[in-house]
Amino acid sequence: MMTLFPPIKPFADGLIDVGDGHRLYWEQVGRADGTTVLFLHGGPGAGCSERHRQLFDPAHYRAVLFDQRGAGRSLPFGELSANSTPHLIADIEALREHLKIERWLVVGGSWGSTLALAYAQTHPERVIGLILRGVFLGRDSEVDWFMHRMGDFQPEAREAFLSIIPEAERGDLLSAYYARLTDPDRDVRVAAARAWAGFEDACATLLPQPASQGADAVAYSIARLEAHYFVNRLFLADAPLLDNMAKIAHLPAVVVQGRYDLVCPPVSAWELAQAWPKAELVVVPDAGHSLWEPGILDATLAALERCKALA
Rg of the chain over Cα atoms, rounded to whole angstroms, equals: 18
pLDDT at residue number 220: 95
pLDDT at residue number 239: 85
Tens of pLDDT along 30-44?
Answer: 999 999 999 999 999
Residue 194 CA to residue 181 CA, distance in Å, equals 10
In degrees and rounded to multiples of 5, residue 129 shows phi and psi of 170, 170
Catalytic hit among 110, 113, 221, 268? 110
Catalytic hit among 41, 268, 289, 290? 289
pLDDT at residue number 213: 45
110 is catalytic: yes
pLDDT at residue number 94: 98
Residue 84 CA to residue 34 CA, distance in Å, equals 31
Domain with CATH 3.40.50.1820 in the chain: 12-139+236-309
Was domain 12-139+236-309 assigned CATH 3.40.50.1820? yes
Residue numbers of the chain with a pLDDT score lower than 50: 212-214
pLDDT at residue number 210: 61
Average pLDDT, the chain: 96
Instruction: Name the burial class of residue 167, with classes exposed (0-12), middle (13-18) and buried (19+) by CB atoms within 10 angstroms of its CB.
Output: exposed
Catalytic hit among 22, 91, 261, 268? 261
pLDDT at residue number 214: 45
Provide the residue type at 291 as one letter. Answer: L
261 is catalytic: yes
For residue 190, give the nearest of 152, 153, 218, 162 by alpha carbon.
218
DSSP string for 11-64 = SEEEEEEEETTEEEEEEEEE-TTSEEEEEE-STTTT---HHHHTTS-TTTEEEE
Q: Which residue stretches of 212-277 are H helix?
A: 216-231, 267-274
Q: What is the CB neighbour count within 10 angstroms for residue 130?
A: 27
Tens of pLDDT along 89-121?
Answer: 999 999 999 999 999 999 999 999 999 999 999
Tens of pLDDT along 179-219?
Answer: 999 999 999 999 999 999 999 999 999 987 665 444 678 89
289 is catalytic: yes
